[in-house]
Amino acid sequence: MSQRSCLSVILAAGEGTRMKSAMPKVLHAIAGLPMVAHVVKAAEAAGATGLSLVIGHGAEEMRKAARKFAPKAETFVQEKRLGTAHAVLAAREAISKGYDDILVMFGDTPLIDAGALVAARQKLAQGAAVAVIGFRPPNPTGYGRLIEKDGQLVAIREEKDCSEAEKKIGFCNAGMMAVAGKHALRLLDKVGNNNAKGEFYLTDIVEIAGAEGLDVVATEASFESALGINNRAELAEAEAIWQARRRREAMLAGVTLIAPETVYFSHDTEIGADTIVEPNVWFGPGVKVASGAKIHAFSHIEGATIASNCDVGPFARLRPGADLRQKAKVGNFCEVKQATIEEGAKVNHLTYIGDARVGAGANIGAGTITCNYDGYSKFFTDIGEGAFVGSNSSLVAPVTIGKGGYIASGSVITENVPDDALAFGRARQKTLPGKGKELRQRFASAATAKKNAAE
């Protein structure tokens, strides 16, 4: 298998009108990744050395997206939608390059398992000309049935054309197939459009290949793997299946999920063993968590790196560029963005740290803010090792707090603070005896006068 070349032709030209969206259907995301990108990943995992995307609706948007998730893929436009065989032939140029195997896939089946694709390719390696991937849905109504005889697939029969006996067949067409490269173009070119819709159906190559005496077989994928997405309800169902799979993988790899069904991963989430994740945690794209971390409930994390034995949350938000080093702590209702929290540093309560470094062992008091943006540009705040920043402080960047520096609570710091210095940046308190009572009386009289005027 490893010596056989393989081209994956992914059909992604559908408009997806049932999605009720201006965006091409296959760009709707599962786990933060366009569904067609999941299909690409499966094809690559199955050994595809070439990728062709057949696109139509929103072609330029598709090309732009593909440059991110499949930069080496060729794109071909199906100008007119004249059936699945016609769509595959849009990639004629790629198919003609002489690949051993051609995998025909659909961009709206994001849960397809690479193992099912490998099984189909193995049938080609054993001499089959066509290997159709089938599945067994809970209710086969509406699906094309796979008609087998003596180990050969003889036809794919649409339900409206099935006999009563054939309607009882539970083995259905998943749409995907593998075709031997040496036969592919010849078989595809023989597909006609003599049908009610005047379209060229890919499924016809089963009978065409059989008529030539070629081996045509069926392989089986799970129902979930073959699930196609046509609307947002099905998109949500696919998301739920993907999440369930990923949660199980994480737990089997040594991660504790206290309430698994409430934790959401992204397609690229990395999380180490012995990490504990409490309920209602959301991992966005680009998150890496090392072993032994603890992620408390209701935390929202994206684009962040969390080292071993860190403590995050509850109700913490880590935004892109957050880099927590070993044993760092980011506590409740804290937000960190584009900032490094060094080893053992603590950002405990109600705090915003952006475009900054918090040195090892430093302590950031409740209500502290790094004022990093002036409406036009971002500026950096550097907080030294072992520094102590008192509660309700505003650090106006660019500014440096030296190693061991101490910031008095309630300060607005606009100038650099040297190592081990104590800085106050607040107005001196003034106390006026009896003025509190006088002020309350004045406010009460004003309120009474306003009420009487309204009456």
Catalytic residues: 349
- Give every CB contact of residue 370 below 8 A, 6+ residues apart in sequence: 339, 352, 353, 354, 355, 356, 381, 395, 397
Using the Cα atoms of residue 367, residue 371, residue 374 and residue 377 in order, give the sign of their dihedral: negative
- Give every CB contact of residue 287 below 8 A, 6+ residues apart in sequence: 266, 268, 269, 270, 271, 301, 302, 303, 304, 305, 306
Residue 100, both tokens: 């051993």
Query: In this structure, what DSSP letter does residue 91 have?
Result: T
**CA 399/CA 356 separation, integer angstroms:** 10
Tell me which residue of 225, 36, 30 sits closest to 119, measured CA to CA: 225
Query: In this structure, what DSSP letter does residue 45 have?
Result: H
DSSP secondary structure, 169-220, as one string: ---EEEEEEEEEHHHHHHHHHH----STT----GGGHHHHHHHTT--EEEEE
